[in-house]
Amino acid sequence: MDLLIRDKGYLVVGGTAGMGLAAARALAADGASVVVVGRDGERAEKAAAEVLAVGASRAFGRSFDVSREGEAERAVAESVELLGRLDGVAVTTGILGKEPIESPDENWIAAFRDVLLGTTRTVESALPHLIATRGTIVTTAAYSVRSPEIARLPYASLKGAVSVFTKGIAKAYGRQGIRANCVCPGAIETDALRAIRAHVAQERGYPYEEALERVMVEEWGLNTALGRPGQPDEVGELIAFLLSPRAGYLTGALVNIDGGTDF
């Protein structure tokens, strides 16, 4: 499907790996121009080269930490300067922490900055540019906003806030042509989960192609209707679709992509 995004400009925050990089590749494959932003400058440059190789009109990698004050504003401003326009923003940041319910304030504050402020600062900085192009926004929450684990309450709580924020933006700016949707991924086999697959297969003698699936069910209690974790490209393609004109009447949605997780 042609996403109708050739020569449009997109910013992907968290676009140097995993789901964000997959989204950037999906946008690039249909000829968009893309800026990928991450905390590691070298990885950002490498990701931009990969995005350019799959068909982007132009691709740029930049290093910013949007959880820090002023960094999101600079990331957006530089992206607009590089692209000449801004048609959409995807924010895929938010590190999955593991803290007990007795988390000290510092853990909650860290999650607040990383999970929530990284999203709100980026979106709010981008809004004036997106109004000019009638652009789009995609944020990422998680399947756990509907089934939070006691060990990761700061993460799940702030991801829940991301979903509410996104709905609010959709309602407030819809008449100005802005669409905003929030994606809720389940267990996605990014580099971290792929490493677990390899480790478990070697340590326990499980077949490599079954190792992660067995851990998901036997240890994490994570049953999925499809019986497997998702792949980053599957989420990336969804994000690219939501950013594109093909999703023109879809806004304010909380979109599950969790393989039918049982919770």
What is the architecture of the domain spanning 9-187+232-256? 3-Layer(aba) Sandwich (3.40)
Calculate the CA 65 to chain-centre distance: 15
Would you give per-residue pLDDT tens digits along the chain (263 residues)?
899 999 999 999 999 999 999 999 999 999 999 999 999 999 999 999 999 999 999 999 999 999 999 999 999 999 999 999 999 999 998 765 555 555 678 888 988 999 999 999 999 999 999 999 999 999 999 988 887 777 788 899 999 999 999 999 999 999 999 999 999 999 999 888 899 999 989 999 999 999 999 988 888 888 899 999 999 999 999 999 999 999 999 999 999 999 998 76
Residues present in the chain in total: 263
Helices (H), 69-134: 71-83, 105-111, 118-133
Q: Which two tokens mark 77?
A: 């401003």
Query: Which residue ranges does the chain devote to CATH 3.40.50.720?
Result: 9-187+232-256
Q: Is 37 helix (H, G, I), strand (E, B) or coil?
A: strand
Strand order in the sheet with 9-13: 59-63, 33-38, 9-13, 88-91, 136-140, 179-185, 254-257
pTM: 0.94
CA dist 179 and 166 (Å) reads 10
* Amino acid in position 71: E
